[in-house]
Amino acid sequence: MFFIIAACAGALYAHGITNIATAADAAVALRPFAGNLAFFLFAVGIVGTGMLAIPVLAGSTSYAISESLGWKHGLYRKLKEAYAFYGVIIVSVAIGIGLNFIGLDPIKALIYSAVANGMIAPFVLVLIVKMSSSKAVMGQHANGKGTKFFGWATVALMILAGGAAIISLF
C-alpha cells in the first residue's frame, strides 16, 4: 500500500497534480497517463474495486457479528442453517449498494472511513495487546516483555495517527 501511494504521489506531483478532492479529480489526474481513456479506466477501476470489496467486507462483517453473537455461521452452510449470518451479508451488500444512490462522494467516503478506522483501531489494539499478554487467556504463549513493548508502542502510534486523522478533517 505504501509503495502504491508513494508511486502515485510521485507521478502525480511531477505533473503538477497536488489536490484530488473528488472522484472526477482522480479521473482527470489519470489523463497525462491514459489520455482520453482516463475516465473509462477510472470507472472500470472503481467498479472492479467495488466488486472485490463489497463481498469481502460484507462477508467479514457477517463473520465478525455472527461469531460475536454465537450465531451459526459459514459460507458452507445452507441459508436455512445460518439465516442470520446470510442476513448480515444481504444487509451489508444492500447498504453498500445504497451508498451509491445517496450522492456520497467516493473520495470523501474513503477519507471518512479511514478516519473512523483510525479512531477505532486503538481500542481494538488495546484489547489485542491485553488478551495476548494475559497468561489466563494465552497460557504459555502469552506475550513476553519485548512483544508487549512493541504492542503498546503500536497502540501509542495508532492513537497519534488517529488524532492526526481527526485534526486533518478540520
CB under 8 A, 24+ apart: contacts of 92-100? 92/54, 92/57, 92/58, 92/61, 92/62, 93/54, 93/55, 93/58, 96/50, 96/54, 96/57, 96/58, 97/54
pLDDT of the residue at 1: 54
Number of domains comprising the chain = 1
- C-alpha cell of 158? 495508532
Q: Left, alpha or beta for 71 (phi > 0: left; psi -120 to 50: alpha)? A: beta
Residue 166 lies in a domain: yes
Residue 74 lies in a domain: no
pLDDT of the residue at 3: 64
pTM exceeding the 0.85 threshold for the entire prediction = no
The pLDDT of residue 138 is above 70: yes
Give the model's confidence band at 62: pLDDT under 50 very low, under 70 low, under 90 confident, else very high.
Answer: very high
Range of the domain at 124: 105-170
Residue 138 lies in a domain: yes
Residue 3 lies in a domain: no
Q: Note the pLDDT tens digit of each residue in 11-45.
A: 677 777 777 777 677 777 777 777 778 778 878 88
CA distance 117 to 166: 11
* Torsion sign, CA atoms 168, 47, 5, 1: positive
Residue 164 lies in a domain: yes
Residue 92 lies in a domain: no
Is residue 122 within 8 Å of residue 162, measured between CB atoms? yes
Residue 39 lies in a domain: no
Residue 137 lies in a domain: yes
